[in-house]
Chain A
Amino acid sequence: MTEKRFPNPFEIQAPAGAEGWRELYPYSVTFSEERREYEENRFWFWDSMHWGTAMTPWDSHFFETAIATLSQMNSRHYRIPPADGIDFRVLNGYAYLSPVAVDPSKIEARVPEFMERAGHYFANWDSLYQSWLVKVKDSIGEIEALNFSPLPEMEELSIITEGTALGSGHRMLSDYNRFKDLIVQVWQYHFEFLNLGYAAYLDFFGFCKEAFPSIPDLGIAKMVAGVEVDLFRPNEELKLLAKKAIDLGIQRAFDDPENVNLASAAGIEWQAAWDEASDPWFNFTSGNGFYHFDEIWREHTAVPYAFIKDYIAKIEAGDDISRPIDAIQAERDRIVEEYRDLLATDEDREAFDGKLGLARTVFPYVENHNFYIEHWTMSVVWRKVRELGATLAKDGLLSADDDLLFLRLSEVDEVLWDYYTNWAVNAPTASKAHWAPTIERRRGIHQKLKGWQAPKALGEPPEVITEPFTIMLWGITTDSVSTWLGGDDDVEGVITGMAASPGTVEGLARLVFSPADVGEIQDGEILVAPITAPSWAPVFPKIQACVTDIGGMMSHAAIVCREYSVPAVTGTGFGTDKIKTGDRIRVDGSSGTVTILD
C-alpha cells in the first residue's frame, strides 16, 4: 500500500473534445511546468464536497476566492502555528486542494503571534460577531444596489442639474469593479471567524477524545450544537407557511408545486406571508451556493412549494412537524451533564467547562455563517451575475443571457469597455462576433468536462494529515487517504465512512447527483449522494438514512442528519460508485459502515 500513489496531475489527459480546457481558467490555477516539481510532490484531493462537477469560469472564480481567503486567515492574519493556506488547482475543470503545512522549525515562532491574534478574537468574540453581522448585511445591501441595468439612451436630467458629470457607463464599469471587490470582501468575512471557530471546537473535541476514548464525534457535536440556528430557519419558515396554507384553506393549491395558483384573496394573504419570509430566509440555494445553476428558493418556487406540499400532507395526517425545542434543549443539557459527571477529577471538570463554554461561544458563527454567506450573499451575487449577463445579451454585446458565464472575469472587463466606449460614441460594438466562437467552443469543452470522472486525489500520498481544517471540514484523514489508495482491498459489499449520525436501518438506495433530482426521493428510501446541502433538509423526514461520498463531522450532511435524527455515514469516498439506485443496503450510522445486501 505504501508503494501506491495517486495519478500524477501532469499525466492526466483532457477528455476528448476538451483539450483546450485551460482557457476557461486563470493560468495561475492550472498545473504548470514552472512549478512542476512542487506540484508533483504534493498530495491533492478533489473537493467534491463543494465543487462536485466541472466549473465554468465564474464558478471557478468563487472557488479561487473562497480558498484564497481561507488561506489568508491561516497564514497571514492569525498565524495558525502548523498550517498555512490550502493550495488550489483546477484540473479538467475540477477543484483540487492541497494543505500547506508550516515548516516544523518555524511553528514555535508563530505560537506567540497566534496567541495574541486569535486570543483577541476569542476574548471579544460576541461583540466582533455582532459587528460581523452588520458588515455582512451591509455588504449584501451594497451588492444588491449594484446597477447592471442597460445603459440609457439619455442620462437623467439630474446628472446635469446637480452637476455630477458622471454617467451611467462609468457607473457600470465602477459597479463591476466594485462587484469584484465585494466578492473578495464577503469571502474574507466568511473566513474571519471560521478557522478560529474550528480551532476552539477542535480543542474541546480533543479533550473529549482523551477523556472518553470511544466518544462518538456526534456526542461532542451534540454538546456544542445550538438549538435555534439561523441555518434551520428557512425550513422552519416553510413549516409555518404550510400551516398558514391550511389555516387559509388553500392547501390544495400546492398539489402541483409547478403550478400554484394564488389568485384568491386567501392566496394573496398567503403570498404576503411568503414575501415577508423570503427576504432573507428564502435566499436559500438548493445547492451549496458555489454554482451558477444552484436554484434559489425565492426564484425557483417549485422547490420550496414541493416541500410545503409534503408538510401539508404531514399536518393533515396528524403529524407534529414542529421542532421540539424544549426537548432538544433538555437532551443537550442531559448529555453535557452526564459527560461532565463521568469525568474523573474536578480539574477535568473545570477544563471541560472552559472548553465547552468557548466552543459554544464560537459555534453560532460556525453554524450560521453558511446561511449568511453561501446562501444569502451568494444568492444575491448570482442574481447580479445573471442581471449583468442579461444586459449584455440584450444590448448585443453577447448572444445569450448565460454567455457571460463562459468568460473569465478579466475578459468581462474588455466586454464592458467595448460596451461603455461604443455607448458613449453611439457606434457599433465588436464583442458579439469577437467572443461568439470562443464561447461556443468553451460551452462544448465544459460539456465534455462534466462527463469526466475526476480522480479522488492526485500526487504523493501524505504520511500523515495534520492540517486541522482538512480533517475537520473535509473529513480527510490519514485513514481515509489509505482507504482511497487501497479501495480494492475492502471487504466485498462493505463501504466504510464516518459515523455521522447514529442508528441502523435497511432500505432501498436512491442515488441523487444534483439538487434537481431531490424530488425523485420516495418515502423510506436511503439517500446516497456525493454530498447534500442544507436546503435538502425537508427531504430528511422522508428518508431512512443518508450516505455521502465526502464530508467530515462538520459537513452539511452530518449536521443536518444529526438535527433530523437520521442515521448517516459520511465521507465514504466511494459510496456513489458502488451503490446503485434500487440496491438494498444497510446503513449503520453508529459504526460508520454501509453494507450492500442485494
Chain B
Amino acid sequence: MCEACPIIDWADELPTIRSFTARKVAADMTDNIVWFDRYDRDKHKAFVGGKNSSLGEMMMAELPVPPGFAITTNAYEVMWSDAALVDDINELLRSIDHDDYAANIATAGQIRARIESVPIADAVVADITDAYAALCQHCGVDNLPVAVRSSATAEDLPDASFAGQQDTYLWIQGADSVVDHVRRCWSSLFTDRAIAYRHSMGYLHDSIAMSVGVQKMIDPVAAGVAFTLNPTNGDRSQVAIDSSWGLGEAVVSGEVTPDNFLVDKVLREVVKREISDKAIEYRLTDAGTVDKVEIETERRTSASVTDDQLIGIAMLARRSEKHYGCPQDVEWAVDRHLPEGENIVMLQSRPETVWSQKAVSPIRKNSGDVMESIVSTLVSPLHTKK
C-alpha cells in the first residue's frame, strides 16, 4: 500500500460512494435508464457521464445520432451496496505497490474479475432488459446489434476520460450479452492504467462513477473525425476531416493514416484532399464480430468518402458547432445500409481544445475606421502573400 497517499484509501471514502443512492434520476424513465431522446441536461447530466450526456445533447439538437439509452450511475451504485464486494476491492487496492507495474496488472485483473462476478440486482437487470427490448422494437430488429460504451462521471475532474479509461464493446446482441458487457464497462474503471492514473493524479477511486451507453450499432463504410476549424491555422471557416474505411477505431487508434480533407463550411466546397494508403480496416463480419482486415489493393488508395458525403459531414459538424456555441471535435460514420443523403451519423461531439483556448481578441485595432484601415491595407503588403 502507498503510505504516502492516504487520499486513495478506499475504505476511508466509502460513505461518499454510498451517498450516490440519495440522488435519483427523474421518474419519467426509471432510476436506471435515461433515453437519449428525452435527455434533460439539468436532470440527467450528473448520472449519465460525459459521453452519454453528449449523445443526449446531440439527439435533442436533432443531430443524427443512432438511437439508444444510458444506464445511469444509479445502477452502478447499486452494485456497491454489496459490503463483501467493497471489502474485497479495498483489500486488493491496498495490496497495490505502485512501483511494481507487472504485479499490478495481475491485481487489477483480480479486481475486475471480482466486479464481473457480482450478480446484478434484479431490478437493474429488468430495466436494462426492458430498455433493450424497446430499442429492438424501435429499430424493428430482433436481437438488435448495439454498441455498449462506458461513460464516466467525474464532475470535478477536467480529464474524466483518462481517469476512467473508457471502454467500448461493439456488435453486442441479446439482452444477456448487453447486461454482461454493462458489467465489464463498470469494471473497466479498474484497469491497471486507470488505477495508476488516478494514483498519479491524486484522485480518489470513488470520485468517478460509471454510466453505460447502449446505442444501435451502425455498420460504417467509412468513419472518422472532423474538426470545425482548420487545425493548422485556426481558420473557423473550414472543417478538417480525417476519414478511413470501416469503423472509426482505425482512425482514433492511429492504426492507419487516414485520408485528410479540408471543407469550406461556408462555400460548401472540398478545398483540399490528401488520399493516403489505408492498409487495414475494422469491419463487422457476418458472424457478428468486429475484425481487423487488410483492405484490398484498389480500395487502399481510393478516397474513403465522396465529396457529397464530405459536405454532409461538414454541415453536420457545423450544426453541432452552432448548437454548442464553440468549435467542436466530432466523430462521424457513413452507414452502409441507410440511404444516401441520410447515411451520415454522428457518434460524438466535444469541444475542440487547442485553438479554443487561445485568447480571443479583435483582428485589428481601429479596424472600424475605414479610411485608416484602407491606408494600412495599401501600405502594408498583406496581400503580397497572394
Contact = CB atoms under 8 A, between A and B. Distances in A.
Q: Do A and B bind each other?
A: yes
Interface of A: 80-83, 107, 111, 114-115, 118-119, 122, 199-200, 202-203, 205-207, 209-216, 218-219, 222, 335, 338-339, 342, 344-345, 347-348, 350-351, 354-355, 358, 464-466, 468, 471-472, 477-479, 498, 502-503, 590-591
28 contacts: A115-B372, A199-B374, A199-B377, A203-B370, A206-B383, A207-B373, A212-B235, A213-B230, A215-B237, A216-B264, A216-B267, A216-B269, A219-B264, A222-B267, A335-B266, A342-B237, A344-B236, A344-B360, A344-B363, A348-B363, A350-B368, A468-B377, A471-B384, A477-B386, A479-B386, A502-B267, A590-B269, A590-B271
Contacts of A219: 237, 264, 266-267
A219 B262 CA distance: 15
A437 B262 CA distance: 64
Nearest to A338: B266
Contacts of B6: none
B370 A206 contact: no
A214 B262 contact: yes
B43 interface: no
A335 B267 contact: yes
Contacts, number: 141
Interface string B265-304: 1110111100000000000000000000000000000000
Give the interface size class of chain B. Answer: 35 or more
Chain A interface mostly: helix
A207 B265 CA distance: 19
Contact of B361 (A199, A345, A479): A345
Contact of B363 (A211, A214, A215, A218): A211
A498 B385 CA distance: 12
Contact of B368 (A354, A466, A479, A503): A354
A83 B381 CA distance: 12
A276 to B, nearest CB: 39
A210 B235 contact: no
Given A213-B234, A471-B383, A339 B266 contact: yes
Contact of A355 (B269, B370, B383): B370
Nearest to B365: A347
**Most chain A CB neighbours (cut-off 10 Å) among B233, B234, B270, B381:** B381
B235 A122 contact: no
Interface string B207-233: 000000000000000000000001001
B106 to A, nearest CB: 52
Given A203-B370, A339-B237, A214 B271 contact: yes
A156 B267 CA distance: 67
Contact of B382 (A122, A209, A339): A209
Nearest to A119: B371
Interface string B350-386: 0000000000111110011011111101110111111
A345 B360 contact: yes
Given A81-B375, A122-B370, A215-B237, A502 B364 contact: no
B334 to A, nearest CB: 21
**Most chain B CB neighbours (cut-off 10 Å) among A212, A347, A591:** A212
A214 B373 contact: no
Given A122-B371, A351-B363, 20 more contacts: A107-B379, A111-B375, A115-B372, A118-B371, A122-B370, A199-B378, A203-B377, A213-B233, A214-B233, A214-B237, A219-B237, A342-B237, A342-B266, A344-B236, A344-B360, A351-B368, A351-B373, A477-B385, A502-B267, A502-B271
